[in-house]
Structure 1
Amino acid sequence: MLKVLNLVGKFENKNVIFQPSFERQLRLLTNSAVKLSDEKNKDSKQLKNSKESQSFVLNLFKGNLQSSQVFPYPQVLNNDQTETLQALLDPVTKFFNEVNNPAKNEELEAVQPSTLEQLWELGLFALQVPTDLGGLGLNNTQYARLVETVGSDLGVAITLGAHQSIGFKGILLFGTPEQKAKYLPRVSTGKEFAAFCLTEPSSGSDAGSIKTRAVLSPDGKHYIMNGSKIWISNGGLAEIMTVFAQTPIKDESGNEVDKVTAFIVERKFGGVTNGPPEKKMGIKASNTTEVYYEDVKIPIENVLGGVGNGFKVAMNILNNGRFGMAAGLSGTMRIVMKKAVEHANNRKQFGKIINNFGAIQEKLARMALVHYVTESLAFMISGNMDSNSKDYHLEAAISKVFASEAAWFVTDEGIQILGGMGFMKDCGLEKIMRDLRIFRIFEGTNDILRLFIALTGIQFAGSHLKELQKAFKNPAANLTLILDEVKKRAVRSVGLDSGPDMSHLVHSKLAPEAAVLSKLIIEFGQAIEKVLIKHGKNIIDEQFILNRIANATIDVYTTAVVLSRASQSLKLNLSSSEHELLLAQLWTYEASERVRLNLVATADSEKLKSYKKLSELSKNVTKNEGVVQISPLNF
């Protein structure tokens, strides 16, 4: 996040990315196009964006369609992988249906020891560890499907996820061959727990502000670490930890500066202790503690990913694991929906089964809708990763934000359908709701991820507009680029640009929805350009606007994902294809309405005034340290 903010903050111009007179310049260039045509071949090399990307979301910010990672919906498992997955699913599903006891785990505020042992035996703590190092060697799609099953008990899911999704994931991603050979067998067949240790009392979303330090020993053989971490999942269980600390290094000028470095730390190194388990609202079965480091001697060979590269390591670990959250929460929503539907199908009021009432039907339909989107996101992104995509980070962030909010919505509505019964402990939904609340906070709060999505996209779009600025300094050498922009803007100015043709990407039954999406892509790019012209680098301070850009981004991307999945189902003539068609049609219609409202809200004068009023209200409340208004009773 800090990296994105710094990049955006480096825009050269104070208020503009390219000159507001750009359209006037384009008109002048159109008139002189013939004169310049003879110069066209002087330099055939066109300016290109500083970073080519296959990301649908990044290209959306330029108003472009990049379809390669969305259409067709990924089908990445071969027959052997499918058979392996099915062979694993049966015992895992049986275990969570018949053996694991979520209520007992919560009562104990720990996963039962016998349950943990069976989870180890099933291989669920080492799903993606290579088989030659003791794991199951699953790809991301196989992993996502198993995690979906684990989502029936979120306390257990966090114990598993903290271990492998983030705990030793850095070793998988950045470990040297020696580090992998030494540690991966221990976190799989060796049954040693792992943990990811980043958060500190003064460092939450701002990972760069951590205080834990590691200094090279005089003999150069060890780093000496001192500091502490808070809210560490598996903190009281872990023998092997990925720990982030500030280390002094020499910058390019030879000056000593602090940069974050990742280390593999073993409890047996000495000096590693932890506090008692935290008392939490939910996920009580997961072990969460403070962890302390006092003069811990870490061999230099336990630096992970290179000295000073800790921020990169941390962000890649989190980005790589976020799709798993969507998969797990998809499984949670399945459990909730099953309970809600069972009640709706049997509860009789006013002489009718309540599933006949429109109010209940709308709830069930919307629960099904957001679950479909969540599940589609999880397997879209895992499929991208298994196809060796490197450009999925914004998509993964979207999946985390969407899934965590969708699961909360589904559970809240599920409780409402069950009425008083849903509020009772024995039903199990109140536990799920408490468990769910943390998912909008950890592994990147949804608020920060929204800013990450918006600012990363804006920075990507801004680089393109800066290149257009440069093109005008030497128009003859960059004629093709400029004329392409002239044509594009001329079409848009008279309202004829209906967007890129997507008819070949979707099933014919979804052609109208594809046309809607295509138009949204154009409108989105235009809105971003206007925001950049008006705010330039100062956009980093406009969080009211950034949040609405992020929400629009989420709706456009999820629309593309569901159109892709529903098209695939229709093409394969799946038994659920007509149901999926309805889901995709409704989501496109409602999402497009929200997108347009959010885009308008980035520039509309009345909306901008309302943001100022919201800011003023907040300042009043903070200044007063609470509610400002006087009681209606005047005392």
Structure 2
Amino acid sequence: MLKVGQTILSQSRLQICAQRLLVTSSAHLKAAQAQAVEKAERPAKEVKEDLSFVMNIFRGQIETKQLFPYPNVLNTEQRETLEMLVDPVNKFFEEVNNPAKNDQDEKIEETALKGLWELGAFALQVPQDLGGLGLTNTQYARLVEIVGAHDLGVGITLGAHQSIGFKGILLFGNPEQKKKYLPRVSSGEYAAFCLTEPSSGSDAGSIKTRAVLSPDGKHYILNGSKIWISNGGLAEIMTVFAQTPVNDPKTGKIVDKVTAFIVERSFGGVTNGPPEKKMGIKCSNTAEVYYEDVKVPIENVLGGVGNGFKVAMNILNNGRFGMAAALSGTMKACTKKAVEFATTRKQFGQRIDSFGAIQEKIARMQMLQYVTESMAYMISGNMDTGSQHYHLEAAISKCFASEAAWNVCDEAIQVLGGMGFMKDTGLERVMRDLRIFRIFEGTNDILRLFVALTGIQYAGAHLKELQAAFKNPTANLGLIFGEASKRVVRKVGLASVPKMDHLVHRELAKSANLIAKDIDDFGQAVEMVLIKYGKGIVQEQFILNRLANATFDIYSSAVVLSRASTALQNNSPTAQHEKIIAEAWTLEASERVANYLKAISSGKNLDNFSKMETISKKVCENGGIVQSNPLNI
């Protein structure tokens, strides 16, 4: 929950203090700072440093440790291993798996499933000594990209199993749990992630499934149900989340907290409903799962009693980059079909790829794919180097990829015209499959709020730190002077815009500094929002969505500038093409950021937000559209 103080330090007070500080001679200032170091008293609560690029832009700061240079994390052995896997996986999806038949039959053919298990596709990141391939996140992303290019339904079956199904055991399992379960999920037993309930969707904390300790203290008795569980009708091993009574050390009272459990179907009392009928990803099994007096051994608690929410969020955060990798593959496949058609189809005596309207579509398809793929490998590279500060970036990649892939598929259909609408082309199946990606593993709407509120909380904590510093100004003179003077010179136009040109290849310096200015403007907008709304910002979703969208554009621009710079520095054969993509994307993204920030600060736009709220309330009160009948009949 947002923890911004009710009274945020006002800009005017900051400016007055800064102006007084600015007239202090440098000699006196250095003496005062030296004295302050000796007598330093820390502010009430020191803000923990975060290396996330996205987190820091909410303060108007440029944190580049995880962004530049673009990660190149595969050693020679890992690269050779990946090269040995890419061709067999490609060949399998081209020659064995039949996506059209899987979709029609609403299940994956047995020969394909058997082949996937034999390839090791269900255990890509399980350590080798426990039966898996032991791949890094970057290696995993490359193989998932191939799956996404061919069959998203199969991709969901694989992802539900390992990206979230048993991922909790990999992340939080103790040695005994890993030794017992990882070999099983690597050799034929399906796994599932069981969180969502009929009354609990995005609000994971409101789940009703309960687990209580048995009288002998050896088991938890689990009762409840879960809905829309991928692999729910197949899974033998499940990560299940339930409310458990826990002693609250602060109050001494018994309270309910979510706990994660490893549950086997063989425990008894676990059943499931029939496969759900879905719009897309039809070949993946989705079912409701029921738990009736299931006896779960206490040693099957995962991550500690009462820590289930943390376990669930870490599993989801850890797996989101894989969605971007898969969908970058989907976009490649859709673009390939559009290009094949556009370069052979003639109208009015010309190939249609010579028309500006088609050229713009294809250019945007390439740009969206490049951004998505760049994010996927940026985040996987960060994770492989041990970063713990990637959760906002992963959430952005999921949202961006799911929306970009939908747009690319839609435009591919448009390029093909009537042919694109036909079932045999395969794009209508891809479009149906894609629709779920904006909903599951955190809806894009909720993830936007997550990004905005988490970043605002970080920025607000720094403002609170500054407030606390004013209680003992002598001891905190350096902090006060640094923050306050920065605001004053910015206000009177003396501040120079922060630079990023030294981080990128010289040919991209102009684009980099454009984004640096956007970061500075964004930080000012966030500060203004904090001062104006305080804790009430949590309810201002019109504003939060626009802050999130601006964040998406700033992060995506920085990522492509990093990747294109590396291509230029390495004299890659595609370097100039990548440079043009980065320039084009950054220019348009910067324009969008300016519009988002203008909407946040403009009274005219805020008034329009109020109008939209009124319209929505009226429609909901009426149970549908509210308007007069133009024909009066």
How far has the Cα of 1:32 moved from its partner? 5.2
Match of 2:21 in 1: 29
Match of 2:93 in 1: 96
1:602 alignment partner, SS class: helix
| Kept after mapping to 2: 8 A contact 1:72/1:564 | yes
Quick one: distance in 2 between partners of 1:89 and 1:395? Answer: 27
Match of 1:605 in 2: 603
Further displaced range: 31-40 or 176-185 = 31-40
Gaps of at least 5 residues in structure 2 are none
Quick one: distance in 1 between partners of 2:4 and 2:424? Answer: 56
> Where do residues 423-502 of structure 1 align in structure 2 (5 Å cutoff)?
423-502=421-500
Quick one: distance in 2 between partners of 1:566 and 1:12? Answer: 41
Further displaced range: 130-139 or 624-633 = 624-633
Change (3 A) 1:496 1:412: farther
Change (3 A) 1:265 1:17: farther
Change (3 A) 1:20 1:450: farther
| Offset from partner CA, 1:143-165 (integer Å, 9 cap, x none) | 00000000020000000000000
Match of 1:234 in 2: 231
| Kept after mapping to 2: 8 A contact 1:235/1:274 | yes
How far has the Cα of 1:496 moved from its partner? 4.0
How far has the Cα of 1:218 moved from its partner? 0.5
Match of 1:3 in 2: none
Letter in 1 for 2:410: D
- Among 391, 394, 405, which residue is 2:392 paired with? 394
Quick one: distance in 2 between partners of 1:182 and 1:176? Answer: 10
Change (3 A) 1:11 1:515: closer
Are 1:533 and 2:525 counterparts? Answer: no
Match of 1:11 in 2: 4
How far has the Cα of 1:493 moved from its partner? 1.9
1:536 alignment partner, SS class: helix
Match of 2:618 in 1: 620
Aligned residues: 626
How far has the Cα of 1:631 moved from its partner? 1.7
Match of 2:214 in 1: 217
1:259 alignment partner, SS class: strand
| Kept after mapping to 2: 8 A contact 1:347/1:353 | yes
How far has the Cα of 1:499 moved from its partner? 3.0
How far has the Cα of 1:518 moved from its partner? 1.2
Quick one: distance in 1 between partners of 2:11 and 2:254? Answer: 40
| Offset from partner CA, 1:201-226 (integer Å, 9 cap, x none) | 00000000000000000000000000
- Among 83, 97, 111, which residue is 2:108 paired with? 111
| Offset from partner CA, 1:202-259 (integer Å, 9 cap, x none) | 0000000000000000000000000000000000000000000000011022101000
Quick one: distance in 2 between partners of 1:569 and 1:24? Answer: 48
Quick one: distance in 2 between partners of 1:603 and 1:344? Answer: 43
Are 1:197 and 2:189 counterparts? Answer: no
| Kept after mapping to 2: 8 A contact 1:36/1:476 | no
Quick one: distance in 2 between partners of 1:496 and 1:11? Answer: 29
1:289 alignment partner, SS class: strand
How far has the Cα of 1:49 moved from its partner? 4.7
1:335 alignment partner, SS class: helix
Quick one: distance in 2 between partners of 1:561 and 1:296? Answer: 47
- Among 63, 81, 96, which residue is 1:84 paired with? 81
Quick one: distance in 1 between partners of 2:305 and 2:71? Answer: 37
- Among 42, 45, 50, which residue is 2:47 paired with? 50
| Offset from partner CA, 1:443-476 (integer Å, 9 cap, x none) | 0000000000000000000000011111111111
| Offset from partner CA, 1:283-341 (integer Å, 9 cap, x none) | 00000000000000000000000000000000000000000000000011111011000
> Where do residues 164-313 of structure 1 align in structure 2 (5 Å cutoff)?
164-189=162-187, 191-252=188-249, 253-313=251-311
How far has the Cα of 1:37 moved from its partner? 5.3
| Kept after mapping to 1: 8 A contact 2:244/2:306 | yes
Quick one: distance in 2 between partners of 1:367 and 1:495? Answer: 40
Quick one: distance in 2 between partners of 1:105 and 1:494? Answer: 64
How far has the Cα of 1:495 moved from its partner? 2.7
1:361 alignment partner, SS class: helix
1:72 alignment partner, SS class: coil
How far has the Cα of 1:176 moved from its partner? 0.2
| Kept after mapping to 2: 8 A contact 1:330/1:375 | yes
1:297 alignment partner, SS class: strand
Quick one: distance in 2 between partners of 1:496 and 1:149? Answer: 51
Letter in 2 for 1:215: V
1:203 alignment partner, SS class: coil
Quick one: distance in 1 between partners of 2:254 and 2:136? Answer: 41
Match of 1:631 in 2: 629
- Among 146, 157, 160, which residue is 2:158 paired with? 160
Quick one: distance in 2 between partners of 1:49 and 1:461? Answer: 13
Further displaced range: 32-41 or 401-410 = 32-41
Match of 2:331 in 1: 333
2:363 alignment partner, SS class: helix
How far has the Cα of 1:603 moved from its partner? 1.5
How far has the Cα of 1:196 moved from its partner? 0.1
| Offset from partner CA, 1:119-141 (integer Å, 9 cap, x none) | 00000000000000000000000
- Among 550, 564, 581, which residue is 1:583 paired with? 581
| Offset from partner CA, 1:3-28 (integer Å, 9 cap, x none) | xxx2x1x4331x53556532223223
Letter in 1 for 2:535: K
Match of 2:118 in 1: 121
Quick one: distance in 2 between partners of 1:372 and 1:623? Answer: 44
1:125 alignment partner, SS class: coil
Match of 2:130 in 1: 133
How far has the Cα of 1:622 moved from its partner? 0.2
| Kept after mapping to 1: 8 A contact 2:54/2:551 | yes
Letter in 1 for 2:399: V
How far has the Cα of 1:502 moved from its partner? 1.9
Letter in 1 for 2:613: S
Letter in 2 for 1:417: V
| Kept after mapping to 1: 8 A contact 2:8/2:467 | no
Letter in 2 for 1:11: V
2:276 alignment partner, SS class: coil
Letter in 2 for 1:405: E
Change (3 A) 1:184 1:18: farther
Quick one: distance in 2 between partners of 1:140 and 1:314? Answer: 19
Letter in 2 for 1:42: Q
1:138 alignment partner, SS class: coil
Quick one: distance in 1 between partners of 2:76 and 2:284? Answer: 36
Further displaced range: 291-300 or 38-47 = 38-47
Letter in 1 for 2:125: Q
| Kept after mapping to 2: 8 A contact 1:498/1:518 | no
Quick one: distance in 1 between partners of 2:599 and 2:65? Answer: 30
1:629 alignment partner, SS class: coil
| Kept after mapping to 2: 8 A contact 1:17/1:532 | no
Letter in 2 for 1:585: E
| Kept after mapping to 2: 8 A contact 1:17/1:536 | no
TM-score when normalising by structure 2: 0.97
How far has the Cα of 1:75 moved from its partner? 0.2
Q: Identity, % of aligned pairs?
A: 68
